Structure 1
Amino acid sequence: MIKKLLKKKWVKLPLFLIGTVTMLFLCFYASIYLGFWGDLPTKEELSTLKQAEATQVLDQNGQLIGKYYIFDRQPIHFEDLPQHLIDALIATEDVRFYEHDGVDNKSLLRVFFKTILLRDKSSGGGSTITLQLAKNLFGREKHKIFSTVVNKLKESFVAKRIEDIYSKQEILTLYFNTVPFPDNTYGIESAAHKFFNTSTSQLSLSEAAVLVGSLKANHSYNPRLFPERSQLRRDVVLKQMIKYGYLNTNKADQEMSKPILLNYQYFNHDLGVAPYFREAVKKELISILEEYKKPDNTAYDIYNDGLIIHTTLDYKMQVLAEEAMKEHMQMLQNDYEISYGDMAPWKNNTSLVQNAIKNLDVYKTYKEIGLTDDQIQDSLSIKKEIELFEWTGNTTKKISSLDSLQHYLKFLNTGMIAIEPSTGAVKTYLGGIDYRYFKYDHVSQSKRQIGSTFKPFVYTTAIENGMKPCSYFSTKEITYTNLNNWTPKNASEKEDPHLNFTLEKALSNSVNTIAVKVLNEVGIPKVIDQVRKLGITDSLSKEPAMALGTDAIKIKELAGAYASYVNQGKGVTPYFISKIEDKNGNLIASFKSDILETPGYSEYTRQALLEMMKSTVESGTATRIRTTYKLENDIAGKTGTTQDNKDGWFVGITPNLVTITWVGNDNYNIGFKTTALGQGANTALPIFAKWYQKMNIDPTFDTITKSKFTETSEEVLKDLDCKPEKRDNLLKRLFGKKKKKKKFTTE
């Protein structure tokens, strides 16, 4: 009967077709298994899975402050996964996870009959956690119309091999370490830090449900972009946990009544805490790692090898410094623009704007391809939507590149570094006002004239070479005939020319005329030699004007030299990487500062200069530290202002911290309109003062804020015990020359 039936044409043809399709499918199946559609990872390869891992940058206390990565991933161990996180994942993504071998055949049958045949979209999917892991690990390839089926079958092969090699706990760990979350974040640990500023082990039930819920659609359920949609998805996860017995209804209702509270951390390059610092660390790290190799003799890759970089930065201190800077710079910028009004150089100085245009990279590119200036001008005049930085909040306007240039010409910028004077460890680092729009680092890259902050080195040299602190010098202006009749002037035109100041009074009040006279008496070569002993390597002009700080020196070098006044006379080299470890915590390299072995000057000189700079704060150019900001800390300091008010400086010295702050316009042709506004006491000092106000409130910083200077010796105090000023006698006042002419000694 069966034989007769099989001979019939209407039976034979379908059977033939079924057999042919089956054979073709088996061949197709075999071709995938044998690697004709791309190699499948072997069990040996799967047993040594290696994924790119983000390099972590930590502060001095181990707090994460940044990462370098292509894929933002931080691996963790199974023990770090809270049970409610695991339960949320299984209830939502793969309820039969502990029962299948990588491919859930029951779920696939359900999908086939309910989802495909009956069009019931609520029946769920057939993918398992292991299948998703296979996709996460190896991605998907394009094979035109066959892409879906090829990739699905390849993933099923890989999933089964994974299940043969790894335990269920290991699979969960691999999954959580590789699964993609919103905002280009890979792995649960990175997601926990980015969205909630916590570790995986500390994720709450609600936070875990938010992150697990986002796996369905990274963008659509991004809690940062779509909080309401994300909250609805979180509630779906919690309901799934109820459905499968992982959570009771009362607890779920409590969690669903709470809003999602993000504590978002920007670990991308331009945002977050200390972006200029992170960039400086990256540059130094790349340079350092050129000297080290991995155990297999290959080079380290900071974007993939999961290195751990320990730095000297104090995260909390950095945050407060950034807050203080923003508060002050916003107000200063407003005052700065008001002072110029309609006469602002960035609005009216055509030559200034044209010169700035020629410095643009786009201008140089256009020039290289042969465009004329008129053609370049036309190209730069095309209007487009551009986001502009503003202290009151960024705005997007339709403007040209020329308009944008003029907009940014007006902004003041800043640089600030604070170091531990005994070690050179950098504690805070502000390279500018906003890294997104101002990439230039004023700590590591910029060299600006340092103004009166150079004067302490002149006085240090003088005292070290035998000059007494109570030596008197006239404040009167002198014309130096052998220097083209150069006449150094003081900031105040109202000073009495018949007054004579001690070195302490002259330094604390930043008297230019006396600084030059002291330099003339001690000699330029000795001052340069003294500066070199403190670690400053930047080139110096060897001109008399150096006494007034006309030389440009990097902030880092200036900080290292000033550290000597609270470090036994020894300068230091500021450093910010303390050690580098591989992803397993094995030490690759460790670092300390280069501290000068021999003091640059005597203990007597150190104490004398420190007392003189204390007077700067108590009665000199930095008195607003006490009067305006009411700081009672032990503080010595020095203000600085360069010619035409283009640079404002403040050096703050406390027993355990030395801080250098600079403020100015990046375009050196634009200064402050008035000295009252542009002096260092008004531009740079307030950042330091506001920062210390904030630190004074927080007991965390008591070792900094409550520290006291060591006692000054009786010898130094006795030598400083004299009237700070005296007037010329009557005969000298009556018959002395109005303006003395003199030659400057350069030897």
Structure 2
Amino acid sequence: MAKTGQKQQQSFGKFIKWFWILFGVGVLSVVLVFLLASWGVFGEMPTFERLENPETNLATEFISSDGETLGKLYLDDNRTPIAYENLPKNLVNALVATEDARYYDHSGIDARGFIRALAYLGTKGGASTISQQLARQLFIGVRDKESTTNAILQKIQEWVIATRLERNYTKEEIIAMYLNIYDFNYNADGIRSAARIYFGKEPSELRTEESAVLVGMLKNSSYYNPMRREQLVLDRRNTVLAQMAKYGYITDQEKDSLQKLEMKINFNPESHREGLATYFRMYLQRWLNGWVNDNPKPDGEKWNIYLDGLKVYTTVDSRMQRNAEEAVQEHMKNLQAEFFNQNTPKRNPTAPFLDLTKGAIDTIMERAMKSSPRWRLLKQQGLSEKEIEATFHKKTEMTVFDWNSDSYEKDTTMTPLDSIRYYKTFLRTAMMSMEPQTGHVKAWVGGIDYKHFQYDNVIQGARQAGSTFKPFVYAAAIDQLRYSPCYTLPDNQYCIEPGKHGNIDAWCPKNSDGTYSGDNMTLKSALANSVNSVTAQLIDRVGPGSVVSIARNMGITKDIPEVPSIALGTLDINVYEMVGAYGTFANQGVYVKPVMVTRIEDKNGTVLYEYTPETKDVLSKDVAYAMVNLMEGVTQYGSGGRLRHTYGKNQTMYKEVMTGYPYELNNPIAGKTGTTQNQSDGWFMGMVPNLVTGVWVGGEERAIHFDRLLYGQGATMALPIWALYMKKNYANKDLGVSTDAFEVPEEMSINVDCSKEAQQNEDDLDTEDDLDGLDF
């Protein structure tokens, strides 16, 4: 018996010994595995510096003057991080309740959760903490799911990195980092982009049920996709709400109420070709490319505008920008419908071109074909010109622009060559609005739809200015000869002798209707009605050089020939420079170069750039005010009178085209319409004391235009956009757009009181001017 007991005791001792040996080996093995993982044996591990500064791609953000995000620049990641303080409490609660209920009690690894996962083989939930999930997102990625070894090694690395994250960051910082890093699909990288794209709001504005949708997507955003699996996402949302109730973040009554709500997704995709201010954002992209070339980082490296998370503070007001885009869409849709009506194959066999032979049209089409992206791409692939051209005659499926579709797109089948002709049928536009005192650009619309028409007509395009150039001539006359708006000149055929102003032939411009009244006209009346004979006399008296000098000082950079014909607007100018120039008149003679960017910051808020205004004194205050007074006549009794009157004159005679003018703007407005030869370009430049806006409308080719002046003049093509835009601005009192009169200088040496002459001219408006006031 003694020997048996002794043997049992020895056996038990050996068992205890081996138990502790195995236990020690096990512990040491675990420690060794963790050490090996931390040393990077199982894969690269982040250094302390990387833990302090995790590398994530951050989009450049364009911020409006009223604090809204206009858009972003990014390559793959549309990510703009936000601080924990800007996260709603309901979002944080939903995250913790669903993903890591004991988040605030552990240091990166949830032991209880791990044991539960082992015991139930993951059937009752995994054990990954928020810190582990962040570690996976930041530093590891996803390994081959089919490899058990890789899965184990990844889990070990997650544990190591999670504990390191917990030592380096607060719990709040880890939550913010996790939500900022997650990819919610559809370019919704991070919680801020997700809130904007799926709900059209900032994260701080998210309701509890909306936060639950986004937290539910964290399980697998591709699978729980609200745009494809609505019911599945709704069920997942309700699961999140149930978890919030389980852990006391909401009451059972609140849970039941929220679960009954419909899931309302307000999808707002963010891409470079969609959203607000697309043309302006693409201009900023080009501007930034130039800025980073001249302004490297302190270490000499070049800023990456797609990855470095720059914040670009712009002058554009998102509310005014939206008003501008809506005004363009409203008017251009109607104008295009009338253009299509007049350019049917039956009415115009060469539609959309006018006054061109077949050979001239073929030349235009061939030029367009060879300058298209399709031609360049196939050329790069090594195809011959004959092979490339053949592809332009093969029908293919495509999506094209269409005003009549809700999304302004339709699917169709046509040849690439036919698509080129199709796109040429659409009238184009450009609009820019600026605060003249500061030069701050408040709205910028470069075309009708950036996705399909990417040429920016605000700054890339330049077209004949027509009569909108005449104010430069009048300004030179008032400045040099001290003429007043009441000064009179005869409306007679006027010729400038050959050789008088350079080596030119005799120049005898005609009035637009080819007739002359023979009466003396005030300058105010002559400008209001765009009388060419008076403009010709003025440029003859001051000389083309004086006009060129004033135009250059007012920001017109293009070379201007010093010939008399510039008086009628033969020069090609873009909307950007015209708005800047007209701002000089509204700003009491001081030119302020248009400004689009006020400040640039890096991702940490360090200021990298602040703008310095560029100004130039061009005209005296009294000359500038005299010019404003002249241009007020355009809207009082000239071609811009439709801004004020509900109906034009002779409405019985023209009732078949009369629809009335819905504008009825009664505040002081100065402006100038412009119409070029054959109605190829329609302009309107409009000013109130604190806002100058320019609008151009025309075809891509000058041979694309209305056949009649009734529809092709600036008062019909461009002015309505300005009027609709201003009515929308005035409807929002917070914008502060002025309805006051222009400020009269204290020392006004030029007489501007021409009320008697103005009334006489208003009574004597001829039929052509009456037609100018009609809309369709």
- Structure 2-normalised TM-score? 0.84
Residues 591-740 of structure 1 mapped to structure 2, 5 A cutoff = 591-596=611-616, 598=617, 600-627=618-645, 628=661, 629-701=663-735, 703-711=736-744, 716-717=750-751, 720=754, 723=757
**Counterpart amino acid of residue 618 in structure 1:** Q
Which one is further off, 278-287 or 325-334?
278-287
576, 580, 587: which one aligns with 1:567: 587
Report the CA distance between 1:252 and its aligned residue: 0.8
Q: State the match for 2:364 in structure 1.
A: 352
The SS at the match of 1:65 is: strand
Report the CA distance between 1:283 and its aligned residue: 2.0
Number of paired residues?
706
Residues 273-288 of structure 1 mapped to structure 2, 5 A cutoff = 273-288=276-291
CA 1:268–1:133: 2 relative to 1, 3 Å? same
Q: Is the 8 A contact 1:141 1:147 kept in 2?
A: no
Which one is further off, 322-331 or 582-591?
582-591
The SS at the match of 1:662 is: strand
CA 1:37–1:717: 2 relative to 1, 3 Å? same
Report the CA distance between 1:682 and its aligned residue: 0.5
Residues 33-48 of structure 1 mapped to structure 2, 5 A cutoff = 33-48=38-53
Listed one character per residue, the Cα deviations across residues 477-501 of structure 1 (whole Å, up to 9, x for unaligned) are 34667355654222224x3443332
The SS at the match of 2:673 is: strand
CA 1:369–1:83: 2 relative to 1, 3 Å? closer
CA 1:673–1:367: 2 relative to 1, 3 Å? farther
- Structure 1-normalised TM-score? 0.87
For residues 44 and 706 of structure 1, the distance between their equivalents in structure 2, rounded to whole angstroms, comes to: 58
Report the CA distance between 1:33 and its aligned residue: 4.7
Q: State the match for 2:22 in structure 1.
A: none
For residues 151 and 244 of structure 2, the distance between their equivalents in structure 1, rounded to whole angstroms, comes to: 30
Report the CA distance between 1:256 and its aligned residue: 1.6
Q: State the match for 1:586 in structure 2.
A: 606
Q: Is the 8 A contact 2:482 2:750 kept in 1?
A: no
**Counterpart amino acid of residue 516 in structure 1:** A
Q: What's the RMSD between the two structures over aligned residues?
A: 3.2
Q: Is the 8 A contact 2:434 2:691 kept in 1?
A: yes
Q: Is the 8 A contact 1:352 1:669 kept in 2?
A: no
**Counterpart amino acid of residue 669 in structure 2:** I
Residues 165-176 of structure 1 mapped to structure 2, 5 A cutoff = 165-176=168-179
Q: Is the 8 A contact 2:489 2:520 kept in 1?
A: yes
**Counterpart amino acid of residue 405 in structure 1:** I
For residues 662 and 220 of structure 1, the distance between their equivalents in structure 2, rounded to whole angstroms, comes to: 47
Q: State the match for 1:246 in structure 2.
A: 249
Q: Is the 8 A contact 1:425 1:593 kept in 2?
A: no
Q: State the match for 1:500 in structure 2.
A: 520
Report the CA distance between 1:324 and its aligned residue: 0.8
CA 1:726–1:521: 2 relative to 1, 3 Å? farther
Q: State the match for 1:380 in structure 2.
A: 392
Which one is further off, 325-334 or 48-57?
48-57
CA 1:31–1:201: 2 relative to 1, 3 Å? same
Q: State the match for 1:88 in structure 2.
A: 94
Q: State the match for 2:262 in structure 1.
A: 259
Q: State the match for 1:488 in structure 2.
A: 509
163, 166, 188: which one aligns with 2:166: 163
For residues 316 and 409 of structure 1, the distance between their equivalents in structure 2, rounded to whole angstroms, comes to: 31
Residues 57-96 of structure 1 mapped to structure 2, 5 A cutoff = 57-70=62-75, 71-96=77-102
Q: State the match for 2:56 in structure 1.
A: 51
The SS at the match of 1:651 is: strand
Report the CA distance between 1:401 and its aligned residue: 1.3
Listed one character per residue, the Cα deviations across residues 73-117 of structure 1 (whole Å, up to 9, x for unaligned) are 23233333333222211221122323444233443443344346x
The SS at the match of 1:589 is: strand
Q: State the match for 2:461 in structure 1.
A: 446
Q: State the match for 1:522 in structure 2.
A: 542
Which one is further off, 150-159 or 447-456?
150-159
Q: Is the 8 A contact 1:185 1:191 kept in 2?
A: yes
For residues 579 and 431 of structure 1, the distance between their equivalents in structure 2, rounded to whole angstroms, comes to: 23
Q: Is the 8 A contact 1:413 1:663 kept in 2?
A: yes
293, 303, 322: which one aligns with 1:290: 293
In the alignment, does 2:405 pair up with 1:389? Answer: no
Q: State the match for 2:571 in structure 1.
A: 551
Report the CA distance between 1:130 and its aligned residue: 1.5
Q: Is the 8 A contact 1:43 1:165 kept in 2?
A: no
**Counterpart amino acid of residue 362 in structure 1:** R
Which one is further off, 461-470 or 202-211?
461-470
CA 1:285–1:358: 2 relative to 1, 3 Å? closer
The SS at the match of 1:341 is: coil
Q: Is the 8 A contact 2:323 2:729 kept in 1?
A: yes
For residues 295 and 523 of structure 1, the distance between their equivalents in structure 2, rounded to whole angstroms, comes to: 52
The SS at the match of 2:367 is: helix
Report the CA distance between 1:263 and its aligned residue: 4.1
Structure 2 unaligned spans of 5+: 12-24, 499-503, 646-660, 762-776
**Counterpart amino acid of residue 45 in structure 2:** L
For residues 40 and 526 of structure 1, the distance between their equivalents in structure 2, rounded to whole angstroms, comes to: 71
Q: State the match for 2:426 in structure 1.
A: 411
363, 378, 387: which one aligns with 2:375: 363
Report the CA distance between 1:126 and its aligned residue: 2.7
Structure 1 unaligned spans of 5+: 7-19, 728-747
Report the CA distance between 1:530 and its aligned residue: 1.8
Q: Is the 8 A contact 1:214 1:222 kept in 2?
A: yes
CA 1:219–1:513: 2 relative to 1, 3 Å? farther
For residues 414 and 516 of structure 1, the distance between their equivalents in structure 2, rounded to whole angstroms, comes to: 29
CA 1:363–1:611: 2 relative to 1, 3 Å? same
For residues 416 and 303 of structure 1, the distance between their equivalents in structure 2, rounded to whole angstroms, comes to: 28
The SS at the match of 2:609 is: strand
Q: Is the 8 A contact 2:629 2:752 kept in 1?
A: no
**Counterpart amino acid of residue 615 in structure 2:** I
Which one is further off, 531-540 or 139-148?
139-148
Identity over aligned pairs, percent: 35
Q: State the match for 2:491 in structure 1.
A: 475
For residues 521 and 85 of structure 2, the distance between their equivalents in structure 1, rounded to whole angstroms, comes to: 70
CA 1:593–1:678: 2 relative to 1, 3 Å? farther
Report the CA distance between 1:519 and its aligned residue: 1.3
For residues 246 and 597 of structure 2, the distance between their equivalents in structure 1, rounded to whole angstroms, comes to: 51
Report the CA distance between 1:642 and its aligned residue: 1.1
Report the CA distance between 1:226 and its aligned residue: 4.3
For residues 103 and 382 of structure 2, the distance between their equivalents in structure 1, rounded to whole angstroms, comes to: 65
The SS at the match of 1:334 is: helix
Q: State the match for 1:188 in structure 2.
A: 191
